[in-house]
Structure 1
Amino acid sequence: MCGMNERERNILDAATTLFMRYGVKRTSMNDISQEAGISRQTLYNAYRNKDEILRALIRYFADRAYCEIEAGLEEKPALGDRLDLVFDRIAVAAFDLLSESPNAADLVEGFNQISEEEIDASYAQVRGLIATILKPYASEIEANGLTTTQLADFVQRMVKASKSTATDRAHLLEMLQTLKTATLKLAGVA
């Protein structure tokens, strides 16, 4: 999961650059091959079309965030710090990336139309990670009437909602802080 070959990473980085600059609809496979410095045939050998590239991008971003979170967990034993790490890699980084693009709406629309399965899989991956982070606090969470799975599902869905409803970065951080405070309270840490 945490590894990808250089050619795939090069293609997906090129596609990301172009999608952010011009939007999904206005970016062609030829544009992507040129940006990646490879032949069109090499690109088509890796990905049949933009839909496949969009699906691969979702997996790429989700896997990269997941691996970065996993790598950072050992350095962050406190639940609040772990939640901050998840929120930063899942919500804040995505929000910042989309905020930099004049074609963010086109990019999100492209992701949503093409990649529902990959999006659902990435959300399930995040829920599982959050549940694992919450597991040491299971007895306190259960004393508050929830399971770690239920709380992980709630946290993941609120993180997702915060990304799309925040009016700006400060508002996003405020919503995530509220979610963190509530989660810590339910886990008996606050």
Structure 2
Amino acid sequence: MGNEKKTRILEAAQSVFLRFGFRRTTMGDIASAAGVSRPALYLLFCNKEELFEAVLQAHVARTLEEIRQGLAAHPTPEEKLRFAFELWAVRPFGLLAASREVGEPIHAGLAFAKEAIDQAIAAFEADLVTILAPLSATAPARALPPEQIARVLTRAVHGFKESATSPEELRTMIDGLLEMVLASLRPVPNAGA
């Protein structure tokens, strides 16, 4: 029963954070949405920051699992990368864009969640390396290693999210970036001639 209750609380908290933003959300709001008392909520999570981190970690775990499960359905590295970024960046961008409070949770000092955010990015980058590694094996000698490419991709897409005005615009930016990266990894025809 404890895991079911915790899952229900995390799902309710994610919904409330999306609706009201981090700052305006109270533990009472989350307890009410989850159908538990505030004391019961505090038994599982000491404060709102800890609860937000748990929501973030649960969301990342679900997203990474969905990406890993779905990669097999995409035969080319380009399709795999587009799929991964669709789930990792475009889908949450669209979800957050639907909220009036979208800017606040993204930009409001979430320094307390930095470690969880860094771990999430590192896990996603590791998945990108897995996709990129076969391309790197046949890439020109001047090509960056897959770990560096993965880091550049995640940081660039983070910047894209800051300036994109819609999921479609974000998707277009990501597509352009991926085309440039993939072009740099293609073997040069007649390179030895």
TM-score scaled by structure 1? 0.90
- Runs (5+) with no aligned partner, structure 2: 188-193
- Structure 2 vs 1, CA of residues 111 and 118 (structure 1 numbering), >3 Å: closer, same or farther? farther
Q: State the distance in 1 between where 2:101 and 2:65 align.
A: 27
CA contact (8 A) 1:82 1:133 kept: yes
Q: State the distance in 2 between where 1:57 and 1:110 align.
A: 16
1:41 matched residue in structure 2 = 39
- Structure 2 vs 1, CA of residues 58 and 142 (structure 1 numbering), >3 Å: closer, same or farther? farther
CA contact (8 A) 2:136 2:143 kept: no
Letter in 2 for 1:20: L
2:190 matched residue in structure 1 = none
How far is the alpha carbon of 1:77 from its aligned partner? 2.3
Matched, 1:50 2:51: no
1:129 matched residue in structure 2 = 127
- Deviation per CA, 1:63-84: give whole Å up to 9, x if none: 1111000000111121111011
Give structure 1 regions of 4+ aligned residues with deviation exceeding 4 angstroms.
Answer: none
Q: State the distance in 1 between where 2:109 and 2:118 align.
A: 12
Letter in 2 for 1:163: K
* Identity %, equivalent residues: 32
Matched, 1:81 2:86: no
Q: Secondary structure at the match of 1:48?
A: coil
Summarize the alignment of residues 52-71 of structure 1 with structure 2, pairs less than 5 Å apart.
52-71=50-69
- Deviation per CA, 1:151-190: give whole Å up to 9, x if none: 111111122222222122222111011012112212328x
How far is the alpha carbon of 1:142 from its aligned partner? 5.2
More deviation in 125-134 or 179-188? 179-188
Summarize the alignment of residues 76-155 of structure 1 with structure 2, pairs less than 5 Å apart.
76-110=74-108, 112-141=110-139, 143-155=141-153
Aligned-residue RMSD, C-alpha: 1.9
Letter in 2 for 1:28: T
Q: State the distance in 2 between where 1:169 and 1:184 align.
A: 22
Q: State the distance in 2 between where 1:87 and 1:154 align.
A: 13
